[in-house]
Amino acid sequence: MEIGYSLTHHPLVIKKDIPNLDQFWRREIRDTVRAKLLTQPDLFGKPLRRSLKGCRTLRVGNYRVVFQIKKENVHIVAIIDRSTDYRGVEARL
């Protein structure tokens, strides 16, 4: 039995991360998040460690979607390029 998850975004994801993506990656990330994170986020997300413990990451092409699972809610914390590290993500928690 699948649980239907709802989706929320950190304000900086909407303000900063999504506008910096080109149209192709916006669509690709949106479709992947809907297909994977709204059905079984614990199956598709890889757990993070250390200061980001409790967060998970989903790779979509050259990007990482950092998210948390809170009951039936998936909260997207950041969308970052794979070539960068996780600095700044911790401040969003």
pLDDT tens for the chain, 93 residues: list them: 456 899 999 999 999 999 999 999 999 999 999 999 999 998 998 999 999 999 999 999 999 999 999 989 999 999 999 998 888 899 998
List CB contacts of 60: < 8 A, sequence separation 6 or more. 25, 28, 29, 32, 33
Homologous superfamily of the 6-92 domain (CATH): RelE-like (3.30.2310.20)
CA–CA dist 78, 57 (Å, integer): 9
| Domain segments of the chain as ranges | 6-92
What does the chain come to in residues? 93
List CB contacts of 71: < 8 A, sequence separation 6 or more. none
CA–CA dist 8, 84 (Å, integer): 23
CA–CA dist 32, 28 (Å, integer): 6
Q: Provide the pLDDT for residue 55.
A: 95
